[in-house]
């Protein structure tokens, strides 16, 4: 990508899995955490698995200030507060990739249900908080952390990217395609993030019932739709 990817919550399950895959693909990754020492532990774990990884560790505000391609992997219940806190450190023109699924489980409910979000989706909530100068893209909801972290596993899932900024969509589709097995597709406007977030609860239901890692594939489009 030629630019570092900063992952907020990068020491957690999803953030660590994405960081690992992008480090394996030769991308420069910054692991963000509220605690720089926790970020460093995650970066060290990546270095153990990918000795030539270009990975560093920072407290979240420093991480967003150091990159204009930011991936958000934090629980929904802290989504709004964390974005408000980090906003002053995010550079205008940055892309913020929101992976958040507003699962009822994040407030003690079931993992197979989503919560209603006033703005329509967590990603639209992010866009409202961050304002017009920061480009929000919703993506990676359907790529589970267990598969990302598993050694050498191809990820059998497409990543659908929704954003109101075509350049952000293109960049995030390319970032998705760095993960072996994944194709990045243009899912249209950010308002479609609502659908991406809600389908995740359905996929979690499949995975729980049948003890697997349910993903999603889009079929029937010309080759050009799958190439980023």
**Interface residues with ligand NAP (CB under 6 A)?**
9, 11-15, 33-35, 38, 73-76, 78, 82, 99-101, 140-141, 144-145
- By beta-carbon proximity to ligand NAP, the closer residue of 100 and 112 is 100
Smallest distance, Å, CB 102 to ligand NAP?
Answer: 8
Crossing angle (nearest 10°) for helices 36-49 and 13-24: 40
Beta-strand ranges (E) seen in 99-181 are 135-138, 159-163
CB of 196 to ligand NAP, least distance (A): 10
Give dist(CA 5, CA 157) in Å, integer: 21
CB 109 within 8 A of CB 201: no
Nearer to ligand NAP (CB atom), residue 76 or residue 167 = 76
* DSSP reduced 3-state for 227: coil
> Is the Cβ of residue 57 or residue 177 nearer to ligand NAP in the bound state?
57
Strand, helix or coil for residue 102: coil
Nearest residue (beta carbon) to ligand NAP: 12
CB of 61 to ligand NAP, least distance (A): 11
State the minimum distance, in angstroms, from the CB of residue 138 to ligand NAP: 11
CB nearer ligand NAP, residue 81 or residue 218: 81
| Minimum distance, C-beta of residue 33 to ligand NAP, in the bound complex (Å) | 3
Compare residues 35 and 153 and give the one whose CB is closer to ligand NAP: 35
Half-sphere exposure of 203 (CA within 13 A, CB side): 19
């Amino acid at each position: 990508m030629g630019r570092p990817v900063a992952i907020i919550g990068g020491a957690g399950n999803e953030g660590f899995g994405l960081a690992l895959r992008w480090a394996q693909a030769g991308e420069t990754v910054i692991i963000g955490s509220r605690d720089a020492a926790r970020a460093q532990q995650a970066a060290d774990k990546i270095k153990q698995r990918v000795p030539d990884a270009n990975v560093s560790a920072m407290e979240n505000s420093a991480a967003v200030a150091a990159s204009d391609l930011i991936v958000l992997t934090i629980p929904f219940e802290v989504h709004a507060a964390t974005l408000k806190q980090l906003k002053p450190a995010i550079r205008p023109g940055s892309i913020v990739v929101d992976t958040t699924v507003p699962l009822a489980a994040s407030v003690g409910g079931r993992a197979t249900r989503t919560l209603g979000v006033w703005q329509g989706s967590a990603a639209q909530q992010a866009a409202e908080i961050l304002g017009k100068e920061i480009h929000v893209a919703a993506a990676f909801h359907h790529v589970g952390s267990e598969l990302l972290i598993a050694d050498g596993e191809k990820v059998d899932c497409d990543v659908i990217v929704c954003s109101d900024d075509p350049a952000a969509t293109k960049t995030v589709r390319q970032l998705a395609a760095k993960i072996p097995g994944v194709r990045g597709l243009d899912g249209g406007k950010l308002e479609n993030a609502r659908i991406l977030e809600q389908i995740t609860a359905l996929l979690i239901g499949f995975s729980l019932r049948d003890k697997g890692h349910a993903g999603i594939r889009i079929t029937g489009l010309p080759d050009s739709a799958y190439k980023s």
